[in-house]
Amino acid sequence: MIWEDVLAKFKELFGDEGEIGVYFAPGRVNMIGEHTDYNGGHVFPCALTIGTYGVARKREDKKLRFYSLNFDQLGVLESSVEGLKPEKEADWTNYPKGVMWAFGEKGMKVEQGMDLVLYGNIPNGSGLSSSASVEVLTGFILRDMFGFDVTNQDIALIGQFSENKFNGVNCGIMDQFAIAMGKAGHAIFLDTATLKYEYAPIKLENAKIVISCSNKKRGLGDSKYNERRSECESALAQISEVIGINALGDLNEAEFEQYKSAIKDPVCEQRAKHAVYENQRTIKAVEALKNNDVKLFGELMNASHVSLRDDYEVTGIELDTLVEEAWKVEGVIGSRMTGAGFGGCTVSIVKDEAVDTFIEKVGTAYKEKIGYAADFYVVEIGDGPVKLA
């Protein structure tokens, strides 16, 4: 499916008159720095060349007509820009609606409706941010359509706000930021405490980024994501009584070891340990990449997974199997879960000549142990959102 097909579907459903725009926003993969973005730490994600295509046209009335080629069984879903509010039995339209609502909350009321057809080639619920991709895409379309004065970074923040307040997921800024600010060939080293960022070229020499999708579905809303976040918040509250910090990301490893006894609950201590050490690992990993030390970068990725598995406890048998099988394959430089966890995907750096063996070996072992197949994608790092036509 290419954008021309999405446009054809739009015309079939909604007619071909008027000004029709064609847009794309990427998905993202995080290389390292997991569950650090709501702890004032660093992340290192990149935008992908897979993502969400959107075809849209402004309407004169208030009506919203939405259709997704990924959910054709739902047909055209109609609503209105008036009185937008989250609904209990939510479907995918809560993402674009949430962003329209969020623009209004920020003083940019969307007064007219639109017709919108989407198609995404990011596997849904896989931890590659299909929802943030739809959010950023919607913000990008609204800016283009209504001339709102917002930067791409603002679009990311509005997307996060809508996800937090409209969709009830207390996510950090990483996904929307990576998508809105993506740059081909580069990952984004972002300090989530200040939103200062730097593009770092990903030069893997003779290796590729391979994403292994566990096919274990995950919805952030019903996962333990919000629970992890509040565990970190209580750890922070307790540790701040003995050392004045704003976020767990303010601590280095030695400081954490010195003050950790302030955290009463051992589980909260484990979560905080991950947040602190993962942030430091991310800083070291970017440094390693700058020094062309891909081997060290890979080792830090592996250590990240171990910490997410043992201390943060967000992996599960599916992701652990993918990663542990990956580690056994010769030519794998590093492998870890990526995104929120609890299902979804892993990211691995694999030498060119080992990619086929990797897919074969990890795929076979996974199917044997888990009972269903994993999917593999050799991905490229792409740009942020664009208007295609």
Residues near ligand GLA (CB under 6 A): 34-35, 37-38, 171-172, 174-175, 339-340
Q: For the chain, how far is it from start to end, CA to CA, in angstroms? A: 16
- Length of the chain, in residues: 389
**Cβ(7)–Cβ(20) below 8 Å:** yes
Q: What is the DSSP letter of 93?
A: T
**Cα(165)–Cα(159) distance, integer angstroms:** 10
CA nearest to 339, candidates 219, 168, 236, 258: 219
Q: What is the DSSP letter of 87?
A: -
The sign of the torsion formed by the CA atoms of 68, 69, 70, 72 equals: positive
Q: What is the dihedral of CA 36, 234, 194, 110, to 10 degrees?
A: 90
CB of 206 to ligand GLA, least distance (A): 29
One-character DSSP codes across 136-158:
HHHHHHHHHHH-----HHHHHHH
175 is catalytic: yes
Of 268 and 337, the one with the shorter C-beta distance to ligand GLA is 337
Q: What is the dihedral of CA 30, 34, 39, 44, to 10 degrees?
A: -30
CB of 175 to ligand GLA, least distance (A): 4
Of 26 and 172, the one with the shorter C-beta distance to ligand GLA is 172
CB of 48 to ligand GLA, least distance (A): 14
CA nearest to 344, candidates 123, 70, 135, 18: 123
CB of 220 to ligand GLA, least distance (A): 7
Catalytic residue among 115, 175, 311, 320: 175
CB of 339 to ligand GLA, least distance (A): 5
The sign of the torsion formed by the CA atoms of 69, 71, 76, 79 equals: negative
Of 172 and 385, the one with the shorter C-beta distance to ligand GLA is 172
Of 110 and 181, the one with the shorter C-beta distance to ligand GLA is 181
**Cα(73)–Cα(295) distance, integer angstroms:** 46
CA nearest to 157, candidates 145, 170, 174, 141: 174
CB of 159 to ligand GLA, least distance (A): 10
- Known catalytic residues are 175
